[in-house]
Chains A and B, each alone.
Chain A
Amino acid sequence: MKTQKIGAWIAVLFGASYFIIPLIATFEFSLRMRRGEYSFDAYRSVFADVQFRESFSYSIVMAILTIVFGVLLVVPTAYWVRLRLPQMRPFVEFITLMPLVIPAIVIVFGYLRLYNSSSFIPFTGSARGTDLLLMFSFMTLSLPYMYRSVDTAMRTIDVATLTEAAQSLGASWPTIMFKCIFPNVMSGVLSGAFITFAIVIGEFTMPSLLNRPAFGPYLQLIGANRAYEPPALAIIAFAITWASMALLQLVSRFSKSAPSKP
């Protein structure tokens, strides 16, 4: 028993140093910009960069759009599959897992060939069209996470009874959807939203190959050309990921204390 506990401490100490040393090193490196003393110059330089602000706000807008349209696609589908097409569940679940199986770079390669300017649906023909395609590609990337968290939240409510109750009170389909189902799966929607946000902000492959000015390609560009800004950006990116995941934990803990679970 004694040796087991020592072994456990060794494992945890090793893991903790593997996780924490790179963060300390990154932070230390980001302070080195001024010769001979530590300063926050690198951060100042990052925040003063117009391209940083532009690409960051572009990615935030894309993340919000992705979340809104992703939720509007996923929630009704998960609801309908549970209510009317339970036999289709394995099939729908398989589709939602596909983005984990097919690498992002392969998916975007397919888009570029299928939706180029001379094709049937020329998404990449204009900047706005490419933005739209990029949003759809982000929706694809986040589909596994969004679907799973919404579906898990839906498991805890009885959709059939809720629907019948609403219908017998004379509610229309939109009322059922937005006043009855949505509020009940809000915890799932929120956890899906935070993961989506973290994915979209950091994604490099898709915006880079679609040539849109998102945060991921900007990071790569800075990494190739500057010395002290990249670690500062890494710290900022880590803080964003941390914030999204902290909110996610908060939401899931909050929903766990709800009494509706069977």
Chain B
Amino acid sequence: MSAKQAIDFRKTAIDWLGILPFLLFAVMFLIAPTLYLVTGAFLNPAGEFTFDNISGLFTDKILASYWISIRVSLASSLGGAFIGFFLAWAVVLGGLPSWIRSSLLTFSGVASNFAGVPLAFAFLATLGRTGLVTLLLRDWFGINLYATGFNLLSFIGLTITYMYFQIPLMVLIITPALDGLKKEWREAAEILGATNTQYWMKVALPILFPSILGTTLLLFANAFGAIATAYSLTGSTFNIVPIQLYAQIRGDVLHNPNLGYALALGMIVITGISNLIYIWLRMRAERWQK
């Protein structure tokens, strides 16, 4: 009996030994660094427990940076989701030639990975003060873009730039969901006398809703954590949270290391919540895709 138990124990030990490198990696490079920041957010420099850092976030400057971050992420995720959905709809259900579908999906695979510093360069060359579109609008249509109050280094400019990777990401994730709409559902609705609008409002959109909402949240988190594009577009003049955190890491601009941890905790909370809802909605949506 005890010999069998010993063998069982050895087998279990070997089983766990097999993923030990992975667990060690996860603890060292994901879990421990995150926990360090999270606990640091609740400690004062002397190492005692405190809520001061959390309440320190509720100052005008930090709240303003969270607010501008949330606005940019929300606008670019809603815009990206909206346009991306129509693009996916057009290639899946719009009756277009099939080469358009495959080239859109290929391009989306590339463009959703084309972010960071080069994306900022691309939009400076397009909509910057001497960008091609700015010059063409001036020369061909007599519109002085920058006199209308437009500025690439602003809320609207950053939103347009972020949408360059948000739209393709939406296309990539929502296309399979649109493919999952069965022809039978539409036929059944039509036989029962439903109009096109009724079919979309009562059948298709309720089925797609978890996918659409979930993907929008994913896009939101994606934009919220991004820094490279904004940093090389605007330098440190545009105070979104990641840029604020970057400055804090570089030179403790808040003059309180633990307040920096709280800033990071705030980011984890926001991206964490939107991702968890995304994963939950995705599991719901997959019921229809089987």
Per the 8 Å Cβ criterion, residues 135-180 of A in contact with B are 136-137, 139-140
**Bound complex: CA of A113 vs CA of B163, how far in Å?**
33
Query: CB-CB < 8 A to A107: which residues of B?
Result: 29-30, 33-34
Q: Choose among A5, A81, A95, A238 the residue that contacts B94 (Cβ–Cβ < 8 A).
A: A5
Q: Is the pair B225, A15 in contact by a Cβ cutoff of 8 Å?
A: no
B198 contacts chain A at the CB level, 8 A cutoff: no
- By secondary structure, the B interface counts as helix
How many chain A residues touch the partner (CB < 8 A)?
80
* Closest A residue by C-beta to B123: A22
Interface presence of B120 (CB below 8 A): yes
* Residue among A92, A106, A195, A205 with most chain B CB within 10 A: A106
- Minimum distance in angstroms from A8 CB to a CB of chain B: 2
Chain B neighbourhood of A204, CB < 8 A: 116-117, 227-228, 231-232
Q: Provided the pairs A12-B91, A28-B132, A237-B118 are in contact, do residues A139 and B113 lie with their beta carbons within 8 angstroms?
A: no
Interface of chain A, helix or strand or loop or mixed?
A: helix
Question: In chain B, what residue has the closest Cβ to A198?
Answer: B113
Q: Does B151 contact A (CB under 8 A)?
A: no
- Against A, the Cβ 8 Å flags (1 = close, 0 = not) of B224-237 are 11011001100100
CB pair A220–B117 under 8 Å, yes or no, is yes
B:59-91 near A, CB below 8 Å? 83, 86-87, 89-91
Q: Are A102 and B34 in contact (CB-based, < 8 A)?
A: yes
8 Å CB contacts to A: which residues of B106-156?
A: 106-107, 109-111, 113-126, 130-133
Say yes or no: is A58 at the interface (Cβ < 8 Å to chain B): no
Q: Chain B interface: which of A47-55, A182-190, A226-234?
A: A226-234
**A19 with B272: CB separation less than 8 A:** no
Q: How far is the CA of A104 from the CA of B249 in the complex (A)?
A: 13
Contact with A110, one of B36, B96, B121 (Cβ below 8 angstroms) = B36
**How far, in Å, is A98 (CB) from chain B's closest CB?**
5
Task: Select which of A22, A28, A84, A105 is within 8 A of B245 by beta carbon.
Answer: A105
B232 touches A220 (CB 8 A): yes
CA distance A231 to B128 in the complex (A): 12
Query: Which residues from chain B contact A262 at a C-beta distance below 8 Å?
Result: none
Q: Which residue of B lies closest to A215 (CB)?
A: B117
B183-226 CB mask vs A (1 if < 8 Å, else 0) is 00000000000000000000000000000000000000100110
* Residues of chain B within 8 A of A213, CB atoms compared: none
Question: A14 CA to B82 CA in the complex, in Å?
Answer: 13
When chains A and B are docked, how far (Å) is the Cα of A38 from the Cα of B104?
30
Interface residues on B, range: 35 or more
Complex CA distance for A5 and B94, rounded to whole angstroms = 5
Whether A234 lies near B267 (C-beta < 8 A) is no
Partner of B32, one of A29, A103, A110, A231: A110
Nearest-neighbour CB distance to chain B for A232, whole angstroms, equals: 9
CB-contact partner of A25 in B89, B106, B131, B264, under 8 A: B131
Most buried by B among A21, A81, A195, A241: A241
Contact A238–B30 (Cβ < 8 Å): no
Given known A-B contacts A73-B25, A233-B118, A8 and B94 have beta carbons under 8 A apart: yes
Which of chain A's residues has its CB closest to B37's CB? A110
A109–B250 alpha-carbon span in the complex (Å): 10
**Quick one: which of A15, A30, A107, A203 has the most chain B CB within 10 A?**
A15
Say which residue of A97, A202, A242 sits within 8 Å of B116 (CB atoms).
A202
Q: B254 on the interface (CB 8 Å rule)? A: no
Q: Interface residues, chain A, CB within 8 Å of chain B?
A: 1, 4-5, 7-9, 11-12, 14-15, 18-19, 21-26, 28-30, 73-74, 76-77, 80-81, 84-85, 88, 92, 95, 97-114, 136-137, 139-140, 195, 198-199, 202-205, 209, 216, 219-220, 223-224, 230-231, 233-234, 237-238, 241-242, 244-246, 248-249
Pairs A–B under 8 Å by Cβ, sample size 11: A12-B94, A12-B100, A18-B163, A19-B164, A73-B22, A77-B22, A105-B249, A106-B245, A136-B28, A230-B124, A237-B117
Q: List 4 other contacts, CB 8 Å, given A15-B104, A203-B228.
A: A14-B83, A77-B22, A219-B116, A231-B121
